[in-house]
């Protein structure tokens, strides 16, 4: 659990907006559709994502934004866009969705390729995990990554998730694939966060 670090600079957290040191996480708007499709129309990004159609077009982004609003209203999903605080640029997305079997939250995310390697995903993931436990009061946060997605696995480890096992997952473009499953249980997060604040 030593990898877990609580993001100390979260200034505001509601179910539709989270502020971190360098990012604003906010609900997507229909006016974001072109930007989202521009960032996702890149195989280097899309091929790591199990639920993204490719080629990714504006209408896919519009449908995702519509669904996002419905999921948020129904209390089953909380999709956020990652926005740079400095210049307002949308750089990616991160979401938590409810897994019906046990009420755990599944974390998913992507960033436009130009923005990789700056710690943005880790910063957002730490904030989203705090959101999942503090605001949504979920019992556990899960995530899965393709086995060779070393960047994403590193993000999960830095956010405190622990590797559980390998599983199969159905993808939009490539059928059933192997994935690595990670989880963080609420009591472990609470123990680690009380240490982090001391």
**Shortest separation between residue 73's beta carbon and ligand COA, angstroms:** 26
- Identify the helix (H) or strand (E) that includes residue 60: helix 58-74
In the bound state with ligand COA, the residue whose beta carbon lies nearer, of 34 and 118, is 118
27 binds ligand COA (CB under 6 A): no
| Distance between first and last Cα of the chain | 15
- Nearest distance, CB of residue 48 and ligand COA, angstroms: 3
60-79 residues near ligand COA, rule: CB under 6 A:
none
Which one of 89, 150, 164, 172 is in contact with ligand COA (CB under 6 A)?
150
142 binds ligand COA per the rule CB under 6 A: no
| Interface with ligand COA, residue 48, by CB under 6 A | yes
| 170 versus 190: smaller Cβ distance to ligand COA | 170
Please name which of 155, 124, 128, 140 lies closest in space to residue 189, comparing C-alpha atoms. 140
Distance CA 124, CA 25 (A): 8
DSSP state letter for 156: H
Q: Is 4 left (phi over 0), alpha (psi -120 to 50) or beta?
A: beta
The conformation of residue 154, written as its DSSP 8-state character, comes to: H
Residues 102-141 that bind ligand COA (CB under 6 A): 109-111, 116-122
If the CB atoms of residues 14 and 164 are measured against ligand COA, the closer one turns out to be: 164
Q: How far apart are CA 43 and CA 179, in angstroms?
A: 19
96 binds ligand COA (CB under 6 A): no
Structure tokens that stand for 152 in this block: 């994403």
Residue 111 CA to its chain's centroid (Å): 10
155 counts as binding ligand COA under rule CB under 6 A? yes
Is 151 a residue that touches ligand COA (CB under 6 A)?
yes
Q: Does 57 bind ligand COA (CB under 6 A)?
A: no
- Cβ atoms of 5 and 158 closer than 8 Å: yes
Chain positions contacting ligand COA, by CB under 6 A: 45, 48-49, 109-111, 116-122, 145, 149-152, 154-155
């Amino acid at each position: 659990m030593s990898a877990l670090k609580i993001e100390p600079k979260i200034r505001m957290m509601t179910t539709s907006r989270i502020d971190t040191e360098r990012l604003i996480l906010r609900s997507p708007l229909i006016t974001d559709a072109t930007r989202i499709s521009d960032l996702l129309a890149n195989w280097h990004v899309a091929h790591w994502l199990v639920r993204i159609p490719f080629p990714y077009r504006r209408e896919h982004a519009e449908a995702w934004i519509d669904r996002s609003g419905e999921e948020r209203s129904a209390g089953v999903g909380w999709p956020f866009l990652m926005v740079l605080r400095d210049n307002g640029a949308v750089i990616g997305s991160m979401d938590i969705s409810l897994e019906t079997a046990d009420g755990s939250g599944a974390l998913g995310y992507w960033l436009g390729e130009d923005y990789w390697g700056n710690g943005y995903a880790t910063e957002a993931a730490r904030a989203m995990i705090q959101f999942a436990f503090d605001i949504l009061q979920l019992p556990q946060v899960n995530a899965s990554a393709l086995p060779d997605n070393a960047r994403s696995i590193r993000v999960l480890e830095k956010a405190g998730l622990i590797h559980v096992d390998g599983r199969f997952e159905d993808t939009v473009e490539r059928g059933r694939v192997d994935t690595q499953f990670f989880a963080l249980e609420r009591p472990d997060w609470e123990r680690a966060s009380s240490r982090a604040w001391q």
